[in-house]
Amino acid sequence: MKTIDQLLAEGVTGQRVFVRADLNVPLDGTTITDDGRIRAVQPTVAKLAEAGARVVVASHLGRPKGAPDPAFSLAPAAARLGELLGTDVAFATDTVGESARSVVAALADGQVAVIENLRFNPGETSKDDAERGAFADELAALADVYIGDGFGAVHRKHASVYDLPARLPHAAGQLIATEVGVLKKLTQDVARPYVVVLGGAKVSDKLGVIDHLLEKADRILIGGGMAYTFLKAQGHEVGISLLQEDQIPAVKEYLTRAEAKGVEFVLPVDVLVAPEFPDLKTKAPAHPTVVAADAIPADEEGLDIGPETRKLYASKLADAATVFWNGPMGVFEHPDYAEGTKAVAQALVESPAFSVVGGGDSAAAVRILGFDEKAFGHISTGGGASLEYLEGKTLPGLAALED
């Protein structure tokens, strides 16, 4: 895989360099609530601009249905990128139309532009190779060189991720090179004990990574909404907690396999419960109660791991040499249910382990809860991509950069 540094050594002055970034940031209206992904790609864009390239940055944001939707415009992300770069960033109001062509044509050496949300064009996500290819052809007309640096999208077989690199000289950006290097530390010659912490809402989202990591991890800690399917599989009442009944047979199999392989599977011993889900807008007091994990009332919902589980999980992380964490321990967006996620983050801060926070809600939680990102070994920009890499899958966006 050719790197950006190799590309820069060859010279990029005057060239139009298309950077497929991941600017898929959370928005509250037009306000960015977490700019981590923009900050992550900024070094690649800055390097190219300083070398005299004419930089064209592209990304998706959200899930528009193949047509322009103002709610998913990249305009706020373009403005924030300009602030981080300390320079004006031009913005094209379409993807490959008149605005994109004119904005790119007007770039001088060292200048940067962002084109509108790629998913406003149905060709970006099409399952049809010809439709995706046609869109990739139009994108290729905007550039001379391609840089893949949107790690959060490399598990998608999309036009700008998979098809476009085949049409242009290409290289991996600084972010992707860093992400791949970190993930190799989690899959090759791993320093032990190797502890995996998995949370989030759905156990189905994590089945593949659990299956793969049962062959590699020494210890797996489970929290979040997915924990209740595990507790149900052990025969416990989980009340009105999030539950995936259809996944219980798979969960039982994993628990059996873990025991046979000597992998320590750790589940909550107590949880915070309430009769209803909290109001995340007003953050009104929720008044949860703490119950044993095997004593959840039939009419209440588990919403965070309890204080004894926090202590238990911290102790299970204290001696780790390598930690991968993906998924919050509870509804961290509400202060009454943030302590479980906060406890895991604090345990990682205090641990000497090489810790990787696997993108998505985990990365957002670290920032929202006020932790210093530098206190962790690495905070990934791609939750889904990280999980699929750890499952051993071939990621289309990485494969496209490897030839």
- For the annotated catalytic residues, the residue numbers are 37, 202, 360, 384
SS3 for 310? helix
Tell me how far CA of residue 89 lies from CA of 114, 142, 157, 344, in angstroms: 7, 17, 28, 38
DSSP string, 200-230: SS-GGGGHHHHHHHTTT-SEEEE-STTHHHH
- The two most distant CA atoms of the chain are separated, in Å, by 67
Query: Can you name the residues that pair with 322 across neighbouring β-strands?
Result: 194, 354
Distance from the Cα of residue 262 to its chain's centroid: 30
The alpha carbon torsion through 73, 76, 81, 82 (nearest 10 deg) reads 120
CB atoms within 10 A of CB 190: 17
Using H for helix, E for strand and C for coil, what is the string for 357-399?
A: ECCHHHHHHHHHCCCCHHHCCEECCCHHHHHHHHCCCCCHHHH
The alpha carbon torsion through 82, 85, 90, 95 (nearest 10 deg) reads -90
Q: What angle do CA 183, 34, 345 make, to 5 degrees?
A: 55
Tokens at residue 387, please?
A: 């999980």
Tokens at residue 187, please?
A: 């899959």
